[in-house]
Structure 1
Amino acid sequence: MQAIVDVLNGWVWSSPLVYGLLAVGLYFSLRMRFFQIRHFKEMIRLMFQGEKSPVGISSFQALAVSLSGRVGTGNIVGVATAIFIGGPGAIFWMWLIAFLGAGSAFIESTLAQIYKQNEDKQYRGGPAYYIEKGIGGKLGKTYAIIFALVTILATGFLLPGIQSNSIAGSMTNSFPVQHWIIGIILVILVGLVIFGGIRSIANVASAVVPFMALIYIGVAIIVVILNIQQVPAMFGLIFRSAFGLEQQFGGIIGAMIAIGVQRGIYSNEAGQGTGPHAAGAAEVSHPAKQGLVQAFSVYVDTLFVCTATALMILMTGMYNVSDGNDGLIVDSGVYQLSPDGEENPGGTVAYTQAGLDKVFSGQDGFDINFVGFGSYFISFALLFFCYTTILAYYYIAETNLVYLTHGKWPILKILLGVLLIVSVFYGTVNSAGLAWDMGDLGVGLMAWLNVIAILILQKPALAALRDFERQKKEKGSGKYAVYTPDPSTVKEAHFWHNDYPKRLREEAAHNPDVENLKR
């Protein structure tokens, strides 16, 4: 089985996918005239706009749920591994894919809003919905079913156990506690939330994710301040290494670009089809609003959280860089690891822990003595990040299950929750090697299916951005922008053709702002 999965992963996560996602992001960025720069302020404003309803969550809650899925082990372990394989220059390529990936994130999230529908007394949207409705016919239906089945397998069964395994591994490295005890605690914490639906998940995510991300970034800022004299040299090292100008890393530039792009995509998930599920649950008056908010989530994930990890590793010098064989280009004396981290149970996360320990235990000459802080802090960071990622996985899997069953047979949702909980517990007490590879396969298949779909269906999303920009210019603000698609060009957007106009008419008599929206 391992050999089969390895071969399939070699095909799925080959260069065409990795560089294809990069090319798609560049293509969409050009088509939208680099909206990620032009509308940066608008992204932040829309993020805190409080539109919500009995069946929809706010833009900020949707952002939090989306970030729950994006921010996880990849932001800590993935960054450390990228540096180990590709050197400091890999960080530049992670930044680049985040910037360009915002284009793909906008398209897929806007499509999720355009083709969302009210199912199971809440908004549902995502690739399965826009594939079926946008492509249409038997082909669209078959395509969507395949995507839904792959997604349920990957996010409902394979990937949750990997996140719980990361939690158990990091916690037991810091505290004398058995894996099975951690498993029971996680089962209880996950079960209390997932059976409450998207509102319960959104409430937890919107409280935990921003809080933990800010603390994590704050600790990184402390590291930067304590090593402020190294800032120019560090950024110089990243940029020189990225283009092969740093002599010691010139021989691994191919690996540097590949791992930087791959880990960047894996971390921010732009184009992979995970983010649109949360985007489709949001209550907004125009799909482009949520597209802009979700594009900003890519920045939060990579430019903020991943950069925080990179800073803590690079500025303290606590990292190794492989020469691609059995030797090291850089040997900090921390750990000598293989690219998959198998030679040490802590994996490449040890670089982040060692970097923080160096700063907070006074090894850099500062009057600070918190021995072991790095290990404890990273353990708790992984706990919060991976826990909310598990919640996001369940919501993604549930959305695709509801798509297949149209809200019927609610017992299947309970069984899905039980399956996910079993996966969580199993992941804490067993090795996740094969499951991780199978999860990679599932996510890779999702990415292939989704990126082809958004290329086919891009026109409604691009038109939505132009419409939003026109209304923003006419009304002086994007706040009152309302989406009214032409039924002849966007045929299956039933919510926007029927449900939303009806609700506006019903509310207009009681709320002057709604009357303004209607106009």
Structure 2
Amino acid sequence: MGDIVSWLNGIVWSNALVVLILGAGLIFSFTTRFLQVRHLKDMRKLIFDKGSNSGFSAFQGLTMTLASRVGIGNIAGVATAIAFGGPGALFWMWVMAFLGAATSFVETTLAQVYKGKDQGQLRGGPPFYIEKGLKLKWVAVVYAGVTVLAQGTLLPPLQANMVAGGVENAFGIQPMITGSVLVLVLAAIIFGGVKRIAKFAQIVVPFMAIGYIGVCFIVLGANISEVPHMFTMVIGSALGMDATFGGIIGAAISWGIQRGLYSNAAGVGSEIYGAAAVEVSHPAKQGLIQSFAVYVDTLLVCTATGFMILITGMYNVVPDGMKPLVTNIAEVEPGTVYTQRAIESVLPGFGAPFIAIAVLFFAFTTIVAYYYSAETCLSYILGEKKKVVAKLLLKVLVLGAVFYGSANAAELVWGLGDLGLGSMGWINIIIILFLSKQAIGVLKDYEVQKKNGLDPVFTPVKLGITGADYWEKEYKYSEHYNQLKNEAEDKSTKSSI
């Protein structure tokens, strides 16, 4: 099975996908006039907008997507990128984050525009904008099916595997025991409904991210004299100017983009389901918040991991098919142990338990977010009568996948995770390229209203957007909407006079 998965990944993760991801990010950056820089101030302010009874708050939406983005890819994924692509892979992860912020804006804004209600809960994501925006129901169903398969079965085992391995390494607890505990706690959360999922993410995500970055500063502080050399090595390796790593620039780009995408998933569409369920007065607001989420994930958390590994020298560089270029910690598999050793070089005896706990929080919140995305897609595919039984089966499937991943080889589950992510990426990035005109129009509408001193309100008819049923049938009747709309009309009338 491992050979089959590896063969499929060779097709899915070809250079064509790397070019497509970077190309889309460049196109969106230019067409939005680099909103990821221009609207940084707005991004920070919008995080604390309140939601409603039918949707999540903006902060809950941010933490829901960060729960999905910030996972073992931020620890083990960064280590793997460095091991196979050299220090320069970290630079290309930064590039991926910068361009991905624009891509994330486009896909999140589309998810907000075309969201709907399901049993009183707001739902949205790629299947919804594929059907309503492009009128391609069959493509929407295919994407939803791939997401259920990927996030319900292929991706959770990888997260669970890293948790079990870290706990065994730090505390000597057998993976079967760790897997059983994970299943029990996960069951308590996912059987509690989407509101419990949002509240869980709201509490845990900020705590785990701040703690992790705090430890990074301690490690950097202890090696402060090495910071200039570290930056020189990263930039030189990325651009082929470093004598040691100059021959693997292609690997640096490929692994940096792949692991960057695995971390923040900008363009894959897998991280925007929570963001689509946020109640806002204008879709661009949530789009900007999710651009900021990409920065938090990659420029903060992934960078923290990369810096700790590189500044302490706790890594190997062994490109595929080549002789080892660096063997600082020989006979160590790429993964969380790199970060563990880096921390222990400064805080002896602290690295293993800290990384085990960090991976536990990072991976567990990601599994919870995976379930929410899979459930949303399952609800989209199935009719009302079949949903109850199907959701129960999905819960059992996810729980089984978590237990399976806890006790099986890491190489296979990494391959399965890459296959699921890459498959979603191919479909979603092509779709949002076709729909980007709508997202750009929404951004311009937001900017015009802001320039006129208004709190932006979305009116799809004004922009010629059809299929935005929620905004036309639901939100326009809210008191907040009418108040803002009247203010906009009054200001427009006065301006014309």
TM bracket, shorter-chain basis: over 0.9
SS at match of 2:304: helix
From 370, 375, 385, the counterpart of 2:352 = 375
> Which residue of the partner structure matches residue 331 of structure 2?
336
CA contact (8 A) 1:504 1:515 kept: no
Corresponding letter in the other structure for 1:44: R
Q: Which residue of 1 aligns with 2:306?
A: 310
Asked if the contact 1:63/1:294 (under 8 Å) is kept, the reply is yes
What SS does the corresponding residue of 1:208 show, helix, strand or coil? helix
Q: Which amino acid aligns with 1:198?
A: V
- The residue type equivalent to 2:209 in the other structure is A
Who is 1:369 aligned against? none
Q: Residue deviations 1:46-94, cap 9 Å, x none?
A: 01222x1111001111111111111111100111111111211111111
State which of 366, 369, 381 in structure 2 corresponds to 1:389: 366
Q: Quick one: which amino acid aligns to residue 376 of structure 1?
A: P
User: Which residue number in structure 2 is paired with residue 90 of structure 1?
Assistant: 89
The one of 353, 356, 370 equivalent to 2:343 is 356
Instruction: Note closer, same or farther for the CA distance 1:470–1:377 as it changes in structure 2 (3 Å cut).
Output: same
- State the one-letter code of the partner of 1:134: G
Structure 1: which 5+ residue stretches go unaligned? 342-346, 362-371
Displacement after TM superposition at 1:335 (Å) = 3.0
Q: 1:503 aligns with which of 478, 484, 495?
A: 478
With 185-194 and 224-233 compared, the bigger mean Cα shift is at 224-233
Contact kept, 8 Å, 1:116 with 1:129, in 2: the verdict is yes
Report the Cα offset of residue 375 of structure 1.
0.9
CA distance in 1, matches of 2:488, 2:154: 44
| Distance in 1 (alpha carbons) for counterparts of 2:343 and 2:391 | 42
Contact 2:150–2:417 under 8 Å retained in 1: yes
| Counterpart Cα distance in 2 of 1:94 and 1:323 | 17
In structure 2, what is the Cα distance between the partners aligned to 1:7 and 1:331? 28
Aligned residue for 1:21?
Answer: 21
Report SS of the residue matched to 1:486: helix
1:489 aligns with 2:464: yes
Taking the aligned partners of 1:295 and 1:251, their CA distance within structure 2 comes to: 33
Hey, what's the Cα distance between the residues in 2 that align with 1:429 and 1:86?
28
Aligned to 2:493: none
Q: SS of the residue aligned with 1:11?
A: helix
SS at match of 2:478: helix
Does residue 257 in structure 1 map to residue 253 in structure 2?
A: yes
TM-superposed CA distance for 1:161, in Å, is 1.6
Shift, 1:323, TM fit: 5.0
**Structure-1 separation of matches of 2:4 and 2:226:** 46
Identify the residue that residue 365 of structure 1 maps to in structure 2. none
The match for 1:183 is 179
SS at match of 1:336: coil
1:400-415 aligned at under 5 Å gives the runs 400-409=377-386, 410-415=388-393
Partner of 1:53: 52
Cα contact 1:89–1:241 (8 A) shared by 2: yes
SS at 1:272 equivalent:
coil
Structure 2 unaligned spans of 5+? 491-497
Q: What is the aligned partner in structure 2 of residue 111 from structure 1? A: 110
Alpha-carbon spacing, 1:518–1:173, altered in 2? closer, same or farther (3 Å):
farther
**Whole-Å separation in 2 of the counterparts to 1:234 and 1:438:** 33
One-letter amino acid of the counterpart of residue 425, structure 2? A
Kindly report which structure 2 residues correspond to 1:23-422, keeping only aligned pairs within 5 A, or say none. 23-50=23-50, 52-136=51-135, 140-325=136-321, 327-332=323-328, 334-337=329-332, 341=333, 347-361=334-348, 372-409=349-386, 410-422=388-400
C-alpha distance in structure 2 between counterparts of 1:265 and 1:161, whole Å: 18
- 1:224 and 1:178 map into 2 onto residues whose CA distance is 33
CA distance in 1, matches of 2:304, 2:392: 38
Helix, strand or coil at the partner of 2:266:
coil
User: Percent identical across equivalent pairs?
Assistant: 50
Deviation at 1:324, TM superposition (A): 4.2
State how far apart, in whole Å, the 2-side matches of 1:429 and 1:189 are: 17
The 3 A distance-change label for structure 1 pair 323 and 498 is: closer
Q: Deviations over 1:3-45 (max 9, x none)?
A: 3332221111111111210110011000001010000111011
* Aligned-partner Cα distance in 2 for 1:212–1:313: 19
The one-letter amino acid paired with 2:56 is: I
Asked whether the 8 Å contact 2:114–2:470 carries over to 1, the reply is yes
- Distance (Å, rounded) in 2 between the aligned partners of 1:277 and 1:43: 19
Letter of the 1:7 partner, please give it. W
Distance 1:107 1:69, change over 3 A: same
Give SS of 2:325's match: strand
CA distance in 1, matches of 2:462, 2:134: 15
SS class of match (1:233): helix
CA shift in 2, pair 1:439/1:235, >3 Å:
closer
Q: Give me the whole-angstrom Cα distance separating, in 2, the residues matched to 1:284 and 1:33.
A: 23
- 2:83–2:319 CA contact under 8 A, matched in 1: no
User: Could you say if the C-alpha distance between residues 317 and 4 of structure 1 is closer, same or farther in structure 2, counting changes exceeding 3 Å?
Assistant: closer
The structure 1 residue matched to 2:412, chosen from 434, 439, 443, is 434
Whether the 8 Å contact between 1:80 and 1:348 is mirrored in structure 2 is yes
1:272-324, Cα deviation, whole Å (9 max, x unpaired): 01122111111111000000000111100100000000111111111111254
**What is the alpha-carbon distance in structure 2 between the residues aligned to residue 379 and residue 407 of structure 1?**
41
Query: Aligned partners of 2:71 and 2:197: how far apart in 1?
Result: 16
Mark the CA change 1:114 to 1:77 in structure 2 (over 3 Å): closer, same or farther: same
Counterpart-to-counterpart distance in 2, 1:429 and 1:320: 26
Cα offsets for 1:100-120 (capped at 9, x unmatched) = 011110000000000000112
Contact 2:84 2:318 (C-alpha < 8 Å) held by counterparts? yes
Q: Kindly tell me the number of residue pairs found equivalent between the two proteins.
A: 489
Query: Structure 1 residues 251, 489: CA separation in 2 closer, same or farther (over 3 Å shift)?
Result: same
Q: Is the 8 A contact 2:251 2:319 kept in 1?
A: no
Structure 2 CA distance for partners of 1:179 and 1:102, relative to 1, 3 Å:
same
**Counterpart-to-counterpart distance in 2, 1:359 and 1:48:** 37
